[in-house]
Amino acid sequence: MKRSFLAKLRANGIYYIAGALLLLIGVPLYQYLVLLPLGYSDALTLAEGGAFAPYLSWIGSHLIAFLGYRALSIIAFVALISLPFTLFRIIVAQEILGIEEVEQTENKTEESDEEDQPQQEDSQKLEETAGELLKQEAKDTDETGNTPILSWRGKGFAVLAAWTGLLGIILYTIGSVVSTLYSAVVSNGFTIHTTIPGNFQIISATMTIITYTVGGGLLAIACLFFGAMIVRSGVKLWPSTWVVYGYTALVVAALLSVSAVAVVSAPIAGKAALTTPAYLL
């Protein structure tokens, strides 16, 4: 089982690297080389100011380029969909190993103390009580069939981080797909003099809020808990690179939180300033 988990982890790692490269390099490079020369930034600026006709006209004239841009972002997040629970397993395993190492160190210290000085009755009673509790916990664990995670208090936060991260990625992906398809349908044959559908702003704002506020907010919670759990233990338990990742996750959580609030107040304009840096990180 350990070997299959490691093999699965390596396979998933390829997808995670591919998704990260798409977000960090592929999407910005596509914007710079493809979208900017076609005037996408000007159309987006007008849309942020409430002028949607030039934006829809641009999409209708450059539909393939627009779909390619959205497809890169969607593919990147699909590649990362299993990342939250992979991080959950890694963090739980690392914390358990850390607890076991601490217990082994304490046991060695107790053994050396026992050789130097006689045991007292109070300490004997305490050890017997602790032993009975551990045996009872192990018995309960065997009966339920769960992995012996002992009483690690951070497990609940890790579970919450994993589920919020997964739901955040799913909502971001669904919101992006629906928004892309809707924009493509509305912009089909659209010109700058065409009347904008009456429900366009409502539907577009709703999809933006689902994608960046709800999905981004859930991702912010996941980044906050994952980062806090890694930073809390620090280099005593994690390699220095993982500690850096933990602090980076806290920064991303802050950016996503501010972006989520900004999008609620201004669904079109609010997503431009902080959302892109947050998702790229």
Report pLDDT digits (tens) over 39-48. Answer: 988 888 888 7
φ and ψ of 38, to 5 deg = -90, 0
Assigned domain for 271 exists: yes
Q: Are 66 and 59 in contact (CB under 8 A)?
A: yes
Assigned domain for 225 exists: yes
* Predicted TM-score (pTM) of this structure: 0.76
Assigned domain for 97 exists: no
Percent of the chain with pLDDT over 70: 72
The residue ranking higher by pLDDT, 237 or 147, is: 237
pLDDT recorded at residue 99:
64
**Residues with Cβ < 8 Å from 182, sequence gap 6 or more?**
203, 204, 207
Residue 172 pLDDT more than 60? yes
Assigned domain for 45 exists: yes
- The CA distances from residue 92 to 18, 20, 176, in Å, are 25, 23, 32
Distance CA 240, CA 261 (A): 32
Assigned domain for 38 exists: yes
State how many domains the chain has: 1
Long-range contacts of 32-40 (CB under 8 A, 24+ apart): 34/65, 34/68, 34/69, 35/65, 35/69, 38/62, 38/65, 40/65, 40/66, 40/69
Q: At what angle do helices 155-187 and 63-79 cross, to 10 degrees?
A: 170
CA 221, 14, 93, 97 torsion: positive or negative?
A: negative
Nearest to 226 by CA among 259, 249, 244: 249
Range of the domain at 30: 2-91+152-280
Nearest to 27 by CA among 278, 216, 213: 278
Q: Are 74 and 173 in contact (CB under 8 A)?
A: yes
Assigned domain for 215 exists: yes
Mean pLDDT within 97-113: 59
Distance CA 201, CA 259 (A): 19
Tokens (6 digits) for 154? 């951070």
pLDDT recorded at residue 3:
57
Distance CA 281, CA 279 (A): 5
Assigned domain for 239 exists: yes
Assigned domain for 200 exists: yes
The residue ranking higher by pLDDT, 126 or 244, is: 244
Distance CA 233, CA 148 (A): 20
Distance CA 154, CA 19 (A): 28
Q: Are 16 and 79 in contact (CB under 8 A)?
A: yes
Residue 173 pLDDT more than 60? yes
